[in-house]
Amino acid sequence: MIPARYAASRFPAKLMQDLAGKPVILRTYQAAIHTKLFDEVYVVTDSEIIYDTIVKEGGLAIMSKTEHDCGSDRIAEAVMQMDVDIIVNVQGDEPFTDRESLEGVLNVFESDIHKEIDLASLMVKITDEEEINNPNTVKVIVDNRNFALYFSRSPIPYPRAKDANTTYFKHKGIYAFRKSALMDFQRLPMLQLEATEKIEAIRYLEYGKKIKMVETHVQGIEIDTPEDLKKAQAAWK
């Protein structure tokens, strides 16, 4: 499932921007298809423009029936009547989506025999100080089993001890959910921490859900700003 909203506060209509001759959302959709990991891939959108773009290329798209505050809510509406167990959420602004990273989050559930994991997501090591301090980059800290402890736009952990050789991880906005966790998310109200940070993954933590983080070495480029688009255009081959 690829949630796709036309409006975006930092970069309006970013998903319809040109990336090597095709809109960003179409590049992302085709990247997810090319992994060959999924029975079906859908774009879930509030925009007729995005819907038509996918359908005209022979893709699958679903129009949201109601307004949604975040991608998880949009996906929950779309899959409510579907007979599925695991749902993968790929962000529409991730045209460099790759098979290796997606396989990593799917494998989490194959080895979860006690079903203690509610969802899985990706993290990638970052070392650039500007990126670590950039509020557009969501950071994550994990426990000794790689379960998420917290997500923040601030640098976490805070480097009070300068000689601690702290490792920082960026959260990549790809999730794999158990359907039950996604349905719970939809009915549970937003709490203070999520409202403050504007990070939907925090809602799962606030309600006691367990998020298994998988480290990937694939950086990719998330298109949040016009500058990101320029980087993506330069990197596209």
Residue 27 reports pLDDT greater than 80: yes
Q: In the chain, what are the domains?
A: 1-97 (3.90.550.10), 115-172+179-219 (3.90.550.10)
pLDDT tens track for 140-187? 999 999 999 999 999 999 988 878 889 999 999 889 999 999 999 989
What is the 3 state secondary structure string of 174-225?
A: EEEEEHHHHHHHHHCCCCHHHHHHCCCHHHHHHCCCCEEEEECCCCCCCCCC
pTM value is 0.86
pLDDT higher than threshold 80 for residue 129: yes
Confidence of residue 218 (pLDDT cuts 50, 70, 90): confident
Distance in angstroms (rounded) separating the CA atoms of residues 8 and 11: 5
Instruction: Give the alpha-carbon dihedral of 23, 28, 34, 37, to 10 degrees.
Output: -160
